[in-house]
Amino acid sequence: MSSPARSEPANVAVFTLIGFAEFVYRHAKKIGALLSRPVLWPTLLLFIPKINLIPFRNETAGIRFDDFILLTVITLLLCGWIVGLDFHIDPIPAMGFAVVAVFCTSNLINAGHSNFLYSLRLLEYLVFFWAGRALIRDHFDFGFLVKLLIGVNCGFILLQYAGIIGGFTADGYESGVERPFGLSANHPAEMGAFLNLAFAALVFGTKTAARFWFWCVLTGLCIFITGSRSAIFAHCFLTLVYLYKHSINKTSFALRTAAILGLLVAVFTAIPNSISGRSTDLLSRQNLDTFGEVYDAIPVDQHFTGFVDSGDPGEAPEGVDPSWYMRGFKWAQVVKTMFNERWTVWILGLGPGALTPALDGGWLRLISETGVVGTVAFLILMRRISSLSTSCLMAVFALAVNMLMVDSHNAYKVMAFLFFLAGTQLKRQAQPTI
């Protein structure tokens, strides 16, 4: 039972869940139609939680139900291409295969301390590209799907915040969660980035002007509840871009911007919340000083056998942001390792997976693990996706922002949705009347 202080959020959560249940019921035929075509099965995987059936030691991701579905779809796609002698590959998946090849080459060079599974993940993400193409080809309502995706996860976030339900982690269901993370993801940061991309796809890719503020406030509120600072920053930027594009003049845009910023400042200062609580010491001078001290103290590890046994957020000194303290130890060790490596290591990096499951800094991880070649290949892939449409451009930007502090390029649901969005937008270009 929730506490009295949370009775109001509990009521909101219950009514929200009832509303979305009614929404799903009214569109049951559309949802059922997704099951009739195997190539569309990955679409349903965007909704279900990530639960390991067979875990791997020292890895957060194991073998999941999703892997069997994606393997089946890949097999069917390959059989269809062979039977139809249709081996044409679109530019996006072609570049995706090139990125996988570069990443795997880095794994081969660093076979002793890297993990091929980190490179092969991208092949699973690419399956969602063809699912997105099929969705538009079969005239499914993409806007409805994105709204349902946002609605379901926001409903779960509100229920988790109210203390009514728990959440699904990689190990299964947990009755209590420290920070809400919805249904599709199993970490608040991943859910924040996931909602960023879904929001970009909705407001920049569909006709939602009449209900923009509903989806903006709902998504922003739920990202706010997750406590993901990178995601809330990306959401604010996406909102400002949308308002700028739809403003009649700059004066109107400036007034709206001032109103939004004023509201955000009021919320952050007047209402107790996880983001403001976690950000008290974010801009303190001690953060930079601590990073310098940590960098000097950490020993050089030529082959990076693992992170030093320090950096527990609970041990952060007074005036130092706990999140920054944790990242400081990791980042300092990785930076120091890279600067003490031979220049040849910078070409293809230390190998994907070399820096353990979580570095909490996607761009630093990308350049360290895949080198200049891998980073450039990844940027080219992102450039091709962003050129498809405004919604893809904004989604890639949101991904880039989240990668500053989170390994979002390794997040399954985030990258799966990005490729799914790319598939829908490419098909829309080929069929502009849809």
Tens digits of residue pLDDT in 70-106: 888 888 888 877 777 667 788 999 999 999 999 999 9
Local confidence band at 305 (pLDDT 50, 70, 90 cut-offs): low
What's the pLDDT score for residue 58? Answer: 66
pLDDT for 53 equals: 80
Please give the mean pLDDT across all residues of the chain.
81
**Arithmetic mean of pLDDT, 366-393:** 95
**Does the pLDDT value for residue 258 go beyond 80?**
no
Q: Determine contact, residues 321/303, Cβ cutoff 8 Å.
A: no
The pLDDT of residue 172 is 84
Among 23, 47, 33, 25, smallest CA distance to 138 is for: 33
**Whether pLDDT at 334 is above 90:** no
Q: Which of the residue ranges 79-83, 97-101, 133-137, 405-409 would you say has the lowest mean pLDDT?
A: 79-83
Strand-pair partners of 174: 167
The pLDDT of residue 5 is: 46
Q: H or E element: which one contains 128?
A: helix 116-137
168 bridge partner residues? 173
Q: Is the pLDDT of residue 385 over 70?
A: yes
393 pLDDT exceeds 70?
yes
Q: How confident is the model at residue 203 (pLDDT cuts 50, 70, 90)?
A: very high
Provide the token pair at 132: 């997105």
| Residue 202 token pair | 């909705």
Of 199-203, 343-347, 371-375, least confident by mean pLDDT is 343-347
Nearest CA to 221 among 262, 275, 173? 275
Residues 6+ apart with CB under 8 A from 166: 160, 173, 174, 175, 176, 177
The dihedral formed by the CA atoms of 63, 74, 194 and 36, expressed in degrees to the nearest 10:
-110
Signed CA dihedral, 176, 181, 182, 185: sign only: negative
pLDDT (0 to 100) of residue 316:
64
Q: Taking the CB of residue 84, how many other CB atoms lie within 10 A of it?
A: 8
Quick one: pLDDT band at residue 381, thresholds 50, 70, 90? very high
pTM of the model: 0.84
Q: Which of 311-325, 375-389, 416-430 has the lowest mean pLDDT?
A: 311-325
Q: What is the pLDDT of residue 134?
A: 87
Is residue 397 very low, low, confident or very high in pLDDT (cuts 50, 70, 90)?
very high
Q: Which of 116, 113, 136, 299 is nearest to 206 (CA)?
A: 136
SS3 305: coil
Which has the minimum average pLDDT: 138-152, 199-213, 260-274, 381-395? 260-274
Element (H, E) at 172: strand 172-174
Task: Give CA–CA dist 41/131, Å, rounded.
Answer: 8
Distance CA 426, CA 215 (A): 25
**Which of 418, 390, 400, 426 has the alpha carbon at shortest distance from 128?**
418
Q: Kindly report, residue by residue over 6-55, the tens digit of the pLDDT.
A: 455 555 555 655 665 665 556 565 656 555 567 778 888 999 888 888 77
Cα(368)–Cα(375) distance, rounded to whole angstroms?
9
Question: ∠ CA(387), CA(389), CA(392), 5° rounding?
Answer: 80
| Residue 1: per-residue pLDDT | 41
Predicted local confidence at residue 320, as pLDDT: 66
